[in-house]
Amino acid sequence: MAQMTAVRAESAPGLWRRFWSRSNERAGYLFILPSLIHILAFLFIPLVLSFFLSFRDWTRPTFSDAPYIGLENYEFLMGDRRFWQSMGNSAYYTALSVPLGMAFSLAIALVMNQKLRGVYLFRTLFFMPVVSSWVAVSIIWLTLLDPNVGIVNYVLGWFGIQPINWLGDPRSAMPAIVLISIWKSAGFNMVIWLAGLQAIPQELYEAAAIDGANRLQSFRFLTLPLLAPTSFFMAVTGVIGSFQVFTPVYVLTRGGPLDSTNTAVFHIYRRAFQEFDFGYASAQSWVLFGVIFIATLIQLFYVRRRREEIQF
């Protein structure tokens, strides 16, 4: 009892000094301080500011000229055809890039998981596009897909295929950007798949082989079910990232042709930094956040439902 009274009698500043005097805690907080400052300056503060601006008409350079307009930005957004078209373009990009990217990177991971000569070199080569700048990669592909001198059309010409205006045709512009995105992110996704594949015990494959299962059956009934957590992680992060695609659209097409690649983030960028309507752009950003959040919740619900069915 006396000890508890002594602890309570000790002042809060005294407890803080005693805690801060420990060298381990002090060193730890000093190490995370730069990241904490970065998160506050470039994530938390802009997040709060954008929410504040979404209720104001800020088309002028000072906050004093940003009158409060309530929900008018959100009301106008409901009937904004170009914004919802950009959301549709983002959904189209997501529907193509996420499943195709997962399948392509899984195929690479299955090959790179074998005991092959030079496999580490090939893993490095596949990962190189990941560490490359999106701007540099986009410029390279801009040359490769050129309808007149691009090497892609030159190779297709060997098979009698007429030149394709990859980035100038509304029908092929978005698929071309999807293919570039899949190529660039395949190395990173391969590493995630490899982690999941190498976590599967080899004894299970040996038992399946004893039972007479071939490679295709082992992949279908053993590998894919055990990769379910990895698949879920890839799907969630893929959907979140694909709805935020910006750089390849900005460098390759600038939203064209005919707004066929005008994704949501690029549309918000144009509204904010070209038309300088920051209040309305902030409202669009929060609606995009809501769509991504709902899509993530749907995926979580689906996975939980599947788990319950399997357990039952």
Residue 276 lies in a domain: yes
Report d(CA 295, CA 162) in Å as an integer.
39
Q: What is the pTM of this model?
A: 0.86
Q: Which helix (H) or strand (E) holds 301?
A: helix 278-311
Mean pLDDT of the chain, nearest integer? 87
* pLDDT at residue number 67: 83
Q: Residue 244: give its domain's CATH number.
A: 1.10.3720.10
CB atoms within 10 A of CB 56: 21
Mean pLDDT across the stretch 286-294? 94
Q: Phi, psi (5° rounding) for residue 279?
A: -65, -50
Say what the pLDDT of residue 2 is: 44
Residue 262 lies in a domain: yes
Q: Is residue 256 part of a domain?
A: yes
Closest by CA to 295, choosing from 258, 244, 246, is: 244
Tell whether 226 is covered by a domain.
yes
- In angstroms and rounded to an integer, the radius of gyration of the C-alpha atoms of the chain is 26
**Residue range(s) defining the domain that contains residue 299:** 80-311
267 and 83 in contact (C-beta within 8 Å)?
Answer: yes
Helix or strand or coil: residue 71?
A: coil
Residue 7 has pLDDT above 50, yes or no: no
- pLDDT score recorded for residue 265: 95
CA atoms of 31 and 36, how far apart (whole Å) = 9
- 282's tokens: 């902030």
> Mean pLDDT over residues 287-302, rounded?
90
66 in a structural domain: no
Mean pLDDT along residues 275-302: 91
Euclidean distance between CA atoms 261 and 235, whole angstroms: 22
Taking a C-beta distance cutoff of 8 angstroms, is the pair 262, 85 a contact? yes
**Two structure tokens written together for 283:** 């409202």
Q: Per-residue pLDDT tens for 243-262?
A: 999 999 999 999 989 999 99
Per-residue b or e along 279-306, where b marks 16 or more CB atoms closer than 10 Å to that residue's CB: bbbbbbbbbbeeebeebeeeeeeebeee
Model confidence at 65, pLDDT cuts 50, 70, 90, reads confident
Strand partners, 56: 68
* 191 in any annotated domain: yes
Q: Answer yes or no: is pLDDT of 22 > 70.
A: no
Sole residue written with tokens 């790179």: 112
pLDDT at residue 307 is higher than 90: no
What is the C-alpha to C-alpha distance for residues 284 and 271, in angstroms, rounded to an integer?
Answer: 9
pLDDT at 5: 46
CA torsion through residues 202, 207, 210, 216, sign: negative
C-alpha distances in Å from residue 296, one per residue of 230, 238, 239, 307: 15, 10, 8, 17
Residue 284 forms part of a structural domain: yes
| Mean pLDDT confidence for 25-33 | 83
Q: Is residue 11 part of a domain?
A: no
> How many domains in the chain?
1
Rounded CA separation 141/150 (Å): 9
Asked whether the predicted pLDDT for residue 13 surpasses 70, the reply is: no
Q: What would the two tokens of residue 141 be? A: 């592909």
pLDDT digits (tens, 9 = 90+) for 129-184: 999 999 999 999 999 999 888 899 999 989 988 889 999 999 999 999 999 999 99
Q: How many residues does the chain have?
A: 312
Question: CA-CA distance, 251 to 136, in Å (whole number)?
Answer: 9
Give the helix/strand (H/E) hosting 39: helix 23-39
What's the pLDDT tens digit per position in 188-240? 999 999 999 999 998 999 899 998 889 899 999 999 999 988 999 999 999 99
Q: Name the one residue in this structure whose structure tokens are 């074998």.
A: 114
The token pair at 18 is: 């005693």
Beta bridge partners of 68: 56
Compute how many other C-beta atoms are within 10 angstroms of the C-beta atom of residue 259.
16
Under a CB-based contact definition with an 8 Å cutoff, are residues 177 and 203 in contact? no
| Residue 8 pLDDT exceeds 50 | no
154 CA to centre of own chain: 33
